[in-house]
Amino acid sequence: MRPQAPCKNCPNHEPGCHGKCDKYKQFTEDHQAYLKEMAKYNGTRFYFESMARKRKNN
């Protein structure tokens, strides 16, 4: 599941606060891991879809 940004309930809304916020740093790390996982999934999906197209065209 996609990580949710912690800013909604955060009391600190000053400009530049993300660099100091541990929750936001953790969110960024979790989001990067999520994107890597989705890239793997999409790459696999693309491979199988392209193979299905090749079989269909033959």
State the Cα–Cα distance between residues 34 and 4, nearest whole angstrom.
11
Determine the structural domain holding residue 33 and report its residue range: 22-58
pTM: 0.56
Contact 39, 48 (CB under 8 A): no
For 57, list phi and psi in degrees, rounded to 5: -80, -20
| Count of domains forming the chain | 1
Contact 10, 32 (CB under 8 A): no
Q: What is the pLDDT of residues 1-58, one digit of tens each?
A: 566 677 777 887 777 788 888 888 888 898 888 888 888 777 777 777 777 777 777 6
CA dihedral 3, 46, 43, 29 (to 10 degrees): -10
State the Cα–Cα distance between residues 56 and 32, nearest whole angstrom.
36
Please check whether residue 48 lies inside any domain of the structure.
yes
